[in-house]
């Protein structure tokens, strides 16, 4: 059984795979976060989610690459949401009514022990001056701090940038060097705050597979395992 949602990056073809266990082979329904999840992703890019055998997609009639998307696992009380971030975006035409900024989405989340938020935002800023990215991150940082102030037990995970293939055409307007500068700004912006990072940069840089803006499934699996280690740490 396989459930699919169309998103704009690596999970465009396989965002949700209906399997009973996470990719590492270890059941992730463990303490302390083993029930009552609300997994909320205000992101663009690969969504770090695991396969859930009871996860059912709701057809909201949303635009293919934009969302919102929503799936529910009634057995384990899990609600999964996805929405792309606000402009700049480069993948499709979007109705203004569907545009949402991450900071605004965070401000609308109550948060709490059973709320997990995954954020990734960088690729669509790689053709803009770094000042544009800094302004966006400052707003997100403020919203993150406010969310953690009102709900300190909310888990927030940020996926970093990753290396990409740089062919003759892409090299005209993109570079890993500049992406690394954006990534450094992001890490610095969220340092000292109770957030966790999925280091997609190191995972893609160190892997034997060729560089790719949308990493192959084996790399995404590593990212998912890292994400779930924050969501559901094993207790010895």
C-alpha to C-alpha distance for 178 and 172, rounded to whole angstroms? 12
Tokens of 74: 């009634």
Average pLDDT of the residues in 116-135: 91
User: Domain for residue 151, yes or no?
Assistant: yes
Taking each helix axis from N to C end, the angle separating 176-189 and 130-150, rounded to the nearest 10 degrees, works out to 30
Q: What's the sign of the alpha-carbon dihedral 58, 12, 232, 68?
A: negative
pLDDT of residue 21: 28
Q: For the chain, what percent of residues have pLDDT higher than 90? A: 32
pLDDT greater at residue 167 or residue 9? 167
pLDDT class of 183 with cuts at 50, 70, 90: very high
pLDDT greater at residue 139 or residue 114? 139
User: Domain for residue 48, yes or no?
Assistant: yes
User: Domain for residue 2, yes or no?
Assistant: no
Strands 115-119 and 38-42 come out as parallel
Q: Which domain holds residue 123?
A: 10-231
User: Domain for residue 3, yes or no?
Assistant: no
C-alpha to C-alpha distance for 193 and 76, rounded to whole angstroms? 30
pLDDT of residue 53: 58
pLDDT of residue 234: 65
pLDDT greater at residue 7 or residue 181? 181
C-alpha to C-alpha distance for 218 and 221, rounded to whole angstroms? 5
User: Domain for residue 236, yes or no?
Assistant: no
Least confident of 55-64, 115-124, 125-134: 55-64
The total number of structural domains that make up the chain: 1
pLDDT greater at residue 70 or residue 67? 70
Tokens of 117: 């938020």
Check whether 27 has a pLDDT greater than 70: no
User: Domain for residue 1, yes or no?
Assistant: no
In the block, tokens 């205000």 appear at 42
- CATH number (domain holding residue 71): 3.40.50
Check whether 2 has a pLDDT greater than 60: no
Check whether 81 has a pLDDT greater than 50: yes
Check whether 160 has a pLDDT greater than 90: yes
Element containing residue 189 per DSSP (H, E): helix 176-189
DSSP-assigned letter for residue 210: P
User: Domain for residue 4, yes or no?
Assistant: no
Least confident of 8-17, 70-79, 210-219: 8-17
Q: For the chain, what percent of residues have pLDDT higher than 70? A: 75
CA distances from 87 to 67, 157, 191, 216, 221 (A): 14, 21, 25, 26, 28
Tell if the pTM clears 0.85, that is, is over it.
no
């Amino acid at each position: 059984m396989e459930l699919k949602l169309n998103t704009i990056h690596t999970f465009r073809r396989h965002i949700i795979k209906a399997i009973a266990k996470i990719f590492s082979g270890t059941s992730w329904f463990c303490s302390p976060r083993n029930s009552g999840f609300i997994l909320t992703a205000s992101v663009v890019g690969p969504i770090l989610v695991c396969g859930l055998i009871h996860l059912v997609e709701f057809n909201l009639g949303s635009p293919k690459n934009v969302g919102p998307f929503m799936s529910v696992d009634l057995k384990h009380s899990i609600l999964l949401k996805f929405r792309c971030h606000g402009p700049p975006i480069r993948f499709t035409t979007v109705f203004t009514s569907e545009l949402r900024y991450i900071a605004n989405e965070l401000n609308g989340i109550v948060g709490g022990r059973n709320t997990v938020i995954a954020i990734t935002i960088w690729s669509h800023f790689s053709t803009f001056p770094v000042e544009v990215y800094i302004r966006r991150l400052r707003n997100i940082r403020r919203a993150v701090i406010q969310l953690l102030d009102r709900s300190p037990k909310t888990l927030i995970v940020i996926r970093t940038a990753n290396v990409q293939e740089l062919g003759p055409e892409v090299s005209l307007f993109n570079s890993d060097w500049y992406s690394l500068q954006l990534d450094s700004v992001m890490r610095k912006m969220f340092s000292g705050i109770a957030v966790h990072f999925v280091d997609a940069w190191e995972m893609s840089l160190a892997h034997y597979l060729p560089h790719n803006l949308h990493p192959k499934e084996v790399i995404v699996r590593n990212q998912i395992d890292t994400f779930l280690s924050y969501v559901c740490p094993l207790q010895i």
